[in-house]
Amino acid sequence: MPNIEKILSKSSLFKGLDEKSISDIIEKINYKVNKFSKNQTIAIEGDDCKSIGIVLKGSIHIQKIYPSGKTVTINRISKGGIFGEVIIFSNMNEYPATIVAVENTEIMFIYKHEILKLCSTNTHILNNFMELLSNKILMLNRKLKSLSYHTIREKISSFLLEEYSKQKSQTIKIKLSRKEMAERFGIPRPSLSRELAKMKKEGLIDFDRKTVKILDIDKLEDELF
């Protein structure tokens, strides 16, 4: 089993706490750690969400599976990442998507009543949890804004400008694969590749497999107006 305290110290819920403090905290709550093999389903869309999950090892995909069998990956969560935090306190506490292990994965599950106990007895964790929820709402708002753009170029431009603001550099490190980017934009992968090539030819951007360099930020902004 991985060093839970070390991993939790890097998670959003326990950030700012040292490993000794985290050890003292989790000794007082009930939790479980489950192991999942590669491609194993962790939760199915519509299942009740009774706990938050923290990835201790490996990574997971949040996927939307359509009746036709088509699968769209909405998000990837790696070690230290959290899921279920928004759903657990909702009166519609069902998973809105399916969760699958990308590789051999271990997840720590903390039940709803234990989260309430942590937040009521530790103001630091309460603050972290509120920040976690706020950040998730802001992220969802950004995704909704992205969906309001109609053309592929608008979607790409919006994404690059958002990453530019985060990374403070015109050379942007891209963590997503081309397939994951296309799924995020809701477009076919070949269409994404063609549009990136057009934008490169027009002098807006340059790119390789892991980075995109914004060559003309003014023109990129003009694509959104």
Task: Identify the residue with better confidence: 10 or 144.
Answer: 10
In angstroms, the CA 3 to CA 168 distance is 33
Predicted pLDDT of residue 2:
67
| Helix, strand, or coil (residue 22) | helix
The domain segmentation of the chain, as residue ranges, is 4-145, 149-222
Whether pLDDT at 1 is above 60: no
What would the pLDDT profile of 152-171 be if each residue is shown by its tens digit? 998 899 889 889 988 999 99
Question: How much is the pTM?
Answer: 0.71
Task: Identify the residue with better confidence: 114 or 180.
Answer: 114
Architecture of domain 4-145: Sandwich (2.60)
Crossing angle between the packed helical segments 123-147 and 152-167, to the nearest 10 degrees: 150
Share of the chain above pLDDT 70, in %: 96
Contacts of 60-69 with CB under 8 Å at 24 or more apart are 60/99, 60/100, 60/101, 60/102, 60/105, 60/107, 61/99, 61/100, 61/102, 62/97, 62/98, 62/99, 63/97, 63/98, 63/99, 63/100, 64/97, 64/98, 65/98
In angstroms, the CA 137 to CA 214 distance is 28
Tally the residues of the chain.
Answer: 225
For residue 157, give Cα distances in angstroms to 25, 110, 171, 220: 44, 39, 14, 6
Predicted pLDDT of residue 146:
62
Predicted pLDDT of residue 147:
60
For residue 77, give Cα distances in angstroms to 58, 83, 156, 195, 225: 9, 8, 22, 27, 33
**Average pLDDT value for the chain:** 90
Per CATH, the number for 149-222 is 1.10.10.10
Close Cβ partners of 183 (under 8 Å, ≥ 6 residues apart):
72, 73, 74
Query: What string of DSSP letters covers 112-177?
Result: HHHHHHHHHH-HHHHHHHHHHHHHHHHHHHHHHHHHT--SHHHHHHHHHHHHHHHHTSSEEE--S-
For residue 52, give Cα distances in angstroms to 18, 47, 89, 195: 21, 13, 10, 38
